[in-house]
Amino acid sequence: MRPSTPEQVLVDGPAGKIEVDISDPGRGSDSSRRGIALIAHPHPLMGGTKDNKVVTTLARTLYALGNVTLRPNFRGVGGTEGTHDEGRGEAEDLIAVARYARQRYGDLPLTCAGFSFGSFVQTRVIKQVKPERLILVAPAVNRFATEEVPPGTLVIHGELDDIVPLAAVLDWARPQNLPVVVVPGGEHFFHGRLHLLQQIVTQHCHG
């Protein structure tokens, strides 16, 4: 099941409007909705947007599993107002989008997913929104003070990531007894391996 053209909305946030793309498997009927997925993109000062290939792969995968997917732009990107806030304001914005989604679609199970900087932001968000599932792809633990995460969190990392070395992720995960799924030959953006990313997320969510 592939999403149709996303609905573009502006959600009220602490620093102004937040631009969000929404794909709804239950458009016109709520019978197909199994959950809500909020997906966070990589660092906005390094070109990260809601249209990043890893982010859209996560969105397509979670949509196919029956989730309403929401892909917001962080502050200062696209139609989102405000300026970059090093993860603090970005977390507040994601919390606002999660609340909007729950008000609009009901109290469905929530998945929070993030890529790189977006993973770091999601580790701040989960304390407030308490999702049922957390998915972190290439979490930038060597660049940002990424907090501990709940047991059962899915962490996916590329073996050859030269932006966030695998060793750094293992050092972060080890004290938490947190497994890390390693994509052999994968680099930070999973070029040529997005299909593996899709498979891993699908298997995890079916488990």
pLDDT tens per residue across span 27-69: 766 678 999 999 999 999 999 999 999 999 999 999 999 999 9
Query: For the chain, what is the mean pLDDT?
Result: 95
| 98 occurs within a structural domain | yes
CATH code for the domain of 99: 3.40.50.1820
- Residue 29 has a pLDDT of 65
| pLDDT at 109 exceeding the cut of 90 | yes
**Can you give the C-alpha Rg of the chain in angstroms?**
16
Q: What's the structural domain count of the chain?
A: 1
Provide the strand spans (E) within the chain: 7-13, 16-23, 35-40, 67-72, 110-115, 133-137, 154-158, 181-183
Q: Sign of dihedral through CA atoms 86, 89, 93, 96?
A: positive
Q: What b/e string do you get for 9-20 counting C-beta neighbours within 10 Å, with b at 16 or more?
A: bebebebeebbb
| 58 occurs within a structural domain | yes
| pLDDT at 183 exceeding the cut of 70 | yes
pTM of the predicted protein model: 0.96
| 182 occurs within a structural domain | yes
Q: Sign of dihedral through CA atoms 24, 22, 126, 206?
A: positive
Q: How many C-beta neighbours within 10 Å does residue 117 have?
A: 25
| 161 occurs within a structural domain | yes
Q: How many C-beta neighbours within 10 Å does residue 43 have?
A: 22
With bands split at pLDDT 50, 70 and 90, how would you rate the model's confidence at 127? very high
With bands split at pLDDT 50, 70 and 90, how would you rate the model's confidence at 1? low
Contact between residue 115 and residue 55 where contact means Cβ atoms under 8 Å apart: yes
| 191 occurs within a structural domain | yes
| 91 occurs within a structural domain | yes
Tell me the C-alpha distance between 80 and 90, whole Å.
Answer: 11
Tell me the C-alpha distance between 194 and 203, whole Å.
Answer: 14
Tell me the C-alpha distance between 36 and 167, whole Å.
Answer: 32
- Residue 28 has a pLDDT of 62
Tell me the C-alpha distance between 91 and 85, whole Å.
Answer: 9
Pure H helices in 87-176: 88-105, 117-129, 166-173
Range of the domain at 86: 7-206
| pLDDT at 180 exceeding the cut of 70 | yes
Tell me the C-alpha distance between 159 and 54, whole Å.
Answer: 16
With bands split at pLDDT 50, 70 and 90, how would you rate the model's confidence at 5? confident
Contact between residue 13 and residue 21 where contact means Cβ atoms under 8 Å apart: no
- Residue 182 has a pLDDT of 98
| 2 occurs within a structural domain | no
DSSP code of 58?
H
What is the tens place of the pLDDT at every residue in 73-95?
999 999 999 999 999 999 999 99
